[in-house]
Each structure stands twice: as structure tokens, then as C-alpha cells.
Amino acid sequence: MIKLIKGFHDILPDESIKWRHIIKSAKIVLDRFGFREIITPVMEKTELFVRGIGQATDIIEKEMYTFEDKGGEYLSLRPEATAGVLRAVVEQSLLRREPLLKLYTIGPMFRRERPSKGRFRQFFQINAEVLGDDSPYIDAEVISAAYAIMTEVGALGLMMEINSVGCAECRPVYRQHLRNYFSKYMDGLCSDCQRRYTTNPLRILDCKVPDCVQIGKKAPLVTDSLDESCKDHFNEVQETLELLNIPFNVEPRMVRGLEYYTRTAFEIVHDDLGKSKAVGGGGRYDRLLRELGGPDQSGIGFGIGIERLAMGLPDEGRYSRSIDYYIACITDSGRDLAIKLTNDLRTAGYSADMRYTTTSLKSQMKTADKLGAIKVIMIGEEELANCEVTIRDMESKEQVSVPIDELINRLQGDEA
């Protein structure tokens, strides 16, 4: 038997029904907020991600699936969606046509992380980006869109954490404060963090190694290093979130794993997920478009992990399987009629199913139950002799007989 690649997973039908609910809910919300869908390739030139996400990140240092193709070009499976979406925006000059762009994309991402609960090497994201406005009101709008997706999906026990990671002017000051602080504890840091000290000390705050977490607890806070305009921006984001009734906590130690963020950063977290507690995350990026060859415009967006969101949803209830009709054919002579009827019901817009092997009524009722049939249409000797079918309501157990040639009209009439 050939097995799955480590860290990759199948989404089986009992689970994919939840996914369908999540994706449908997300699309409803994103439509309400004026987003339109963009679909970009799952593979891009490696350089795009290196430039976009930043060299000194875990993703670029160790997690990308990169290979040299037969033409000698380095390509990578996308570890996230933002860089690819922005590449398309720049390449197709989309901002020229629409100065405020709201785009979303849903699909698989790939990171060669160590697999654990809620952490996979292929995972799916709902990803949204707004480009062309740097006002704090847009930040609040984007955060409220992420929150509205969670509400529409029915996810419980989630918390919104927000922070400001500063801008190109004040971040170097903060970086220096961090270096001054961590220089006193170099021996206690893990080897990755000793390297991060030079390359990107903010990443030390995101390390999960217990000693580093302990040392990081007393590190200076980014919010104490923000310049006046970043402070004002962050205050305005918070005031607008309050106006919108979005519950949030300011989490001054939250840094994001990608380098492109400036000012607002946020995460939606769930404590049940342990170390991989973020169900979603995002933030503002004021230089990324320019770095990818585009106009000097800013953006903000988020990614929500579908696996992690699905893990927080209950299995029962609205995700359980159901069909409108199960056609129980109890006699071989009724098979043609059952086949035709199943097709007529489907054509009329109902979900309907049957089994071609004729078995007892008892075993067919079991099948109907398994499929979650709301009604069962029975075709037996007696029904055939009378040119009718018997319809059984599976919940109330009520049964009615209906002439075959009136069936579809009658069913549609019942619905009207």
C-alpha cells in the first residue's frame, strides 16, 4: 500500500461536510464586505516568497517545498497566499482599475513544519486582502470581516488578539531594545533564537521553546516603542473595533511569523489548540506591494486555517448528512420506475438516491436512515398494481399514497 505523504491528510466525507459549511459561510460574509474572488496558482517562483515573506523567517529558512524544475528555474509550493495575490495584482495592474481592491482566495498552502495537532504540511486557508487604503478604519473593517466569518461559521471559544508591530521608522528602535535585552540572556536561548538575535530578534518572542518563552516574558514591549503616528493609528483601530462591538484583547507580545507586517497585527486564537492556537492571523503591510514591484500603496489582510477552524466545530447537528428522498424499490419490476423517478426528482432540484439491488423494505429503511433521508418513497408490488407510490415522512412516520404521474407536481406544490 502506498501511504500519504507525512503531514498531508485526506479530508473524508464526514469532515468535508464541515468544510463545505465553513467555505460557504466565509463566502457569504466576504460577499457582504465587498470582496471578490481571485484564484492564483499553488506554485510560484521561489524568489517571490523570499522577497515577500522575508529571508529571516521560519517559512523561508526551513519550511518551503522548493525544487528546481527541468528548465533550471527554482519554484516553490505556496506557503501562504498573500505574496501570490499581490504578484497577480501588480502583474495585471489591478489597482489601476480599482483603487480600493478587496480580494479573497481559498485553497491549499504548503509548509514543511513538524506535524502536530492542528499543524499540517498541506493545509487550507481562507485568505482575504484589502489594498489601497492605509486608514485605521480599514484595519477595523478587515478584523471585523474575520470576526464575522467566525460568527457565521458558528465557531465558539475564540478570541481576537491585536497588536501594533510598528513601522519602518520605529521598528528598528524596538529591534535595538530587544537586542539590548536578549544580549543578557544569550546562553539561555535556543540555537535558533541565538541566530534570530542577529537576523530578526522579534522572532524570539514567537519561539515555543520553554526557556525562550520564559526569557521573552520580561522583554520590552513593542507598544512602548511605537512612534506617535503608529500609536495614533493603533488607538484609532481599537476605537473603531469598540464602535463595531468586536471583542478583542491587546496582546503586546504577539509578533507574526511573516516579515511583511507593519502596524496592525492580529490573531484569532483558540486555547484548545495548544501550541498551534491561532485559527487565523493577519495584519497590515505597508511596503509589500512596492517590494514586489507595484505602486507605493499599502494593504491589510488575513488568513484563516480551515483545518483549525473545523476542529473547533461540533460534529453533530447541522453538519450531519441528509437527502430529500430515498427511493426504496422493493420489487425488481419497479426498478425502471424507481430509476426514472430518482432522475425526475434530481431534475426537479431535489436530492434523491436509490440502490439498484432490490432488498427487503427493512434493509432499505436502514439505508435511508444512514443517508439521512427526510422522506422515503416506497415502490412495492401493491404500489405498482395501483400506479402509485407510498411516501413516508421519516420523522413523523406519516405515510401517504400518491399517484405516480402526479408525484413531482404534488411534491413541488407541497413546497410552495
Interface residue list for ligand HAM (CB under 6 A):
80-82, 111, 113, 118-120, 123, 125, 127, 129, 257-258, 278-283, 301-303, 305, 307-308
Nearest approach in angstroms of CB 59 to ligand HAM is 7
C-beta of 111 vs 171, nearer to ligand HAM: 111
- Kindly provide the b/e burial profile for residues 253-271, where b requires at least 16 CB atoms within 10 angstroms of the residue's own CB: ebbbbbbbbbbbbbbbbbe
C-beta of 258 vs 368, nearer to ligand HAM: 258
Cβ contact 103:300 at 8 Å: no
What is the amino acid identity at position 106? Answer: I
Nearest approach in angstroms of CB 243 to ligand HAM is 23
C-beta of 158 vs 278, nearer to ligand HAM: 278
Nearest approach in angstroms of CB 63 to ligand HAM is 8
DSSP conformation letters of 240-302: HHHHTT---EE-TT---SSTT--SEEEEEE-GGGGGG-EEEEEEEESSHHHHTT--S--EEEE
Cβ contact 380:330 at 8 Å: yes
C-beta of 171 vs 375, nearer to ligand HAM: 171
C-beta of 27 vs 346, nearer to ligand HAM: 27
Cα–Cα separations (whole angstroms), residue 351 to 96, 345, 346: 45, 7, 6
C-beta of 102 vs 375, nearer to ligand HAM: 102
Nearest approach in angstroms of CB 305 to ligand HAM is 2
- Tell me the three state secondary structure of residue 104: strand
Nearest approach in angstroms of CB 317 to ligand HAM is 23
Cβ contact 65:76 at 8 Å: yes
What is the amino acid identity at position 238? Answer: Q
C-beta of 263 vs 375, nearer to ligand HAM: 263
Element (H, E) at 22: helix 13-32
Residue of 184, 106, 182, 95 lying closest to 132 (CA atoms): 95
Nearest approach in angstroms of CB 336 to ligand HAM is 49
Query: How many whole angstroms separate alpha carbon 84 and alpha carbon 51?
Result: 11
Tell me which residue has its CB nearest to ligand HAM. Answer: 305
Nearest approach in angstroms of CB 55 to ligand HAM is 16
